Amino acid sequence: MMSSQLSGFLIHYTFKDVLLGGISLYLVYGILLCIYRLTIHPLAQFPGPKLAAATFWYEFYYDLFPHKLRYLWKIEEMHKKYGPIVRINPIHLHINDPNYLDEIYAGGKRKRNRDAWYYRSESNGPLGWSVFQTVDHDVHRMRRAALNRFFSKRSVQEHEEMIIDKIEILCGRFAEAYRTGDTVSLTFACGALTMDVISAYAFGAETDNLTRQDFGAEYLEAYSKLSQFGPVGRQFPWLAKACLTLIPSSLMHRISPAAALIPRNRLFFRGMIEESVRQQEEGKRTKSEGLLEAEKESQKNKSIFQDILRSNLPPSEKAPARLAAEANLLVIAGTETTARALSLVLFHILDNPQTLLQLREELRPLMPHPDSRVSVAALEALRFFPAVITEGIRLSHVVSSRMPRYAPEETLRYSKWIIPAGARVMQSHYLHHMNPDIFPDPYTFNPHRWLDNPELKQNYFMGFGKGSRICLGINLVYAELYLTIARLLTRFDMRLHETIRERDVDVKRDCIIGLPSPEGQGIRVRITQDKAG
């Protein structure tokens, strides 16, 4: 009966008819959806371009084609036209108001969820299941609690010697470049340092990028490519999913050697996690036999997995696939971000001779010799150096993007506007840090602004975000920045080499992290003196 009905249907309708019918239905659906978004959608009354409110293709035009990663600057224009609150796409409300940060990025008991659409929070993504992509406030709190201790100030202090050892390898490379007269790419040298540090810190692993001729540049490029892929994943989730799951790694390597590194890393972490589980089992057994040797051994090469495996998290949270996502996140979050901040702070110091002079004068009593050793605590207690670091992070726009949140159970109020519970609301870090009302003459590198107004940092510094999802790695970042900059500036004289701020430094593309223009050639220096040589 069924088959005769079907054959009847096929006789009457050709493939072309079915195709045309499908397309027509899709168009009708699209038109009805646009009408809904412009009329009875909960955000329909908010100001902004109608086209942006009706369809995601508006954002596509600026972020993917024909423009690339430029929607942030279109959002800036929208604010000039429509005011401080704008509906920038069918589901996002963007606010540009420095006094409304604490409402969006609230902490404590006020629940703030992440927006799955923007972060492409899928379980099979490279960062799926990680603390960064966790949508739900309560699940996030649980995952975050298991990581906090590992990145506390005390824990970073315990790793200070390791960080100093890595910086010494970097110094060796600078000394060699001084002898040979070679140019050093600060972009890649800093990437090598930060990846070697986070790998040793979090996993007790040696990635040895600092000793590679090209500083393991492929990793930094891979992470950068992954970020640039973000808007594609947002607009075409099925494509992102297919790339991540269906393309065999050999083919992926041929399409993009950089992208192929990501699944390779995942496998590497899986191996490491399995080893941690094995060590933990071994530890339990030997402990019950009264022997602590295995425990001691595992402490020597301590990895974050051991902490998570010992934590109170439920067993499903300790599954290898979830831990691998957490590991991937830590390497990605800990490498490119800190590398960009470090190379950009160094750029601004070298580009501002007065700052360099003042900084060296401040460092001299603490580090009188080219080989003087110093602690992070001593450097943090200085007056000018912390202001240089804060200003450098502000201008490096490491995280440039909008960071969407939603309050699942709370109605928010902004001026005369009522933002319904569940509505996605956000500010962009780049626009905030370039706001001339808070940071007069925002393009200028001026560390004194933080000294002249001691409340500025507490109230308006967004370098690491705010609230319950503030950056996990802050203490590690500061340790890396203080120790490296102090050590390099005390031992070496260097000058910028063919580095143009507008081309190589300024952020021209936004893909969660801020990137310079595609023509950018990185930040490069020539070493003009090695005082220890």
Annotated binding site: 471
CB of residue 393 to ligand HEM, shortest distance in Å: 6
At 476 the three-state DSSP class reads: helix
Are 48 and 82 in contact by the 8 Å Cβ rule? The answer is yes
The CA radius of gyration of the chain, in Å to the nearest whole number, is 25
Only one residue has tokens 């083919």, namely 251
Q: Which of 60, 151, 215, 482 binds ligand HEM (CB under 6 A)?
A: 151
> Considering the rule CB under 6 A, would residue 472 count as an interface residue with ligand HEM?
yes
> Considering the rule CB under 6 A, would residue 505 count as an interface residue with ligand HEM?
no
Q: Quick one: 116 or 175, whose CB is closer to ligand HEM? A: 116
> Is the bond preceding 368 in cis, omega lying within 30 degrees of 0?
no
Q: How far apart are CA 63 and CA 71, in angstroms?
A: 5
Of the candidate spans 22-30, 256-264, 327-335, 486-494, the one that interacts with ligand HEM by CB under 6 A turns out to be 327-335
Q: Quick one: 131 or 259, whose CB is closer to ligand HEM? A: 131
Q: Quick one: 399 or 483, whose CB is closer to ligand HEM? A: 399
- By beta carbon distance, the residue nearest ligand HEM is 473
> Considering the rule CB under 6 A, would residue 330 count as an interface residue with ligand HEM?
yes
CB of residue 391 to ligand HEM, shortest distance in Å: 13
CB of residue 247 to ligand HEM, shortest distance in Å: 27
x-or-dash string of contact with ligand HEM, 174-203, rule CB under 6 A:
------------------------x-----
Q: Quick one: 24 or 148, whose CB is closer to ligand HEM? A: 148
> Considering the rule CB under 6 A, would residue 132 count as an interface residue with ligand HEM?
yes
Chain positions 437 to 466 lying near ligand HEM, rule: CB under 6 A, are 463-465
Q: How far apart are CA 486 and CA 172, in angstroms?
A: 15
Burial class (CB in 10 A: 0-12, 13-18, 19+), 245: exposed
The pairing of strands 85-89 and 424-426 is: unpaired
Q: Which of 126, 473, 514, 516 binds ligand HEM (CB under 6 A)?
A: 473
Are 127 and 329 in contact by the 8 Å Cβ rule? The answer is yes
DSSP 154-204: HHHHHTHHHHHHHHHHHHHHHHHHHHHT-EEEHHHHHHHHHHHHHHHHHH-
Q: Quick one: 279 or 335, whose CB is closer to ligand HEM? A: 335
Chain positions 206 to 235 lying near ligand HEM, rule: CB under 6 A, are none
Burial class (CB in 10 A: 0-12, 13-18, 19+), 236: middle
CB atoms within 10 A of CB 179: 10
Q: Which two tokens stand for residue 454?
A: 């001691």
| Binding-site residue ranges for heme | 471
First to last CA, the chain: 92
> Considering the rule CB under 6 A, would residue 403 count as an interface residue with ligand HEM?
yes
Q: Quick one: 171 or 472, whose CB is closer to ligand HEM? A: 472
Q: Quick one: 230 or 473, whose CB is closer to ligand HEM? A: 473
Only one residue has tokens 């993009």, namely 256
Q: Which of 75, 86, 131, 479 binds ligand HEM (CB under 6 A)?
A: 131
> Considering the rule CB under 6 A, would residue 338 count as an interface residue with ligand HEM?
yes
> Considering the rule CB under 6 A, would residue 334 count as an interface residue with ligand HEM?
yes
Please list, in sequence order, all residues whose beta carbon lies within 8 angstroms of the beta carbon of residue 461, skipping any fewer than 6 positions away: 390, 393, 394
Q: Quick one: 37 or 92, whose CB is closer to ligand HEM? A: 92
Return residues touching ligand HEM (CB under 6 A): 131-132, 144, 151, 198, 329-330, 333-334, 337-338, 341, 393, 398-399, 403, 463-465, 469, 471-473, 476-477
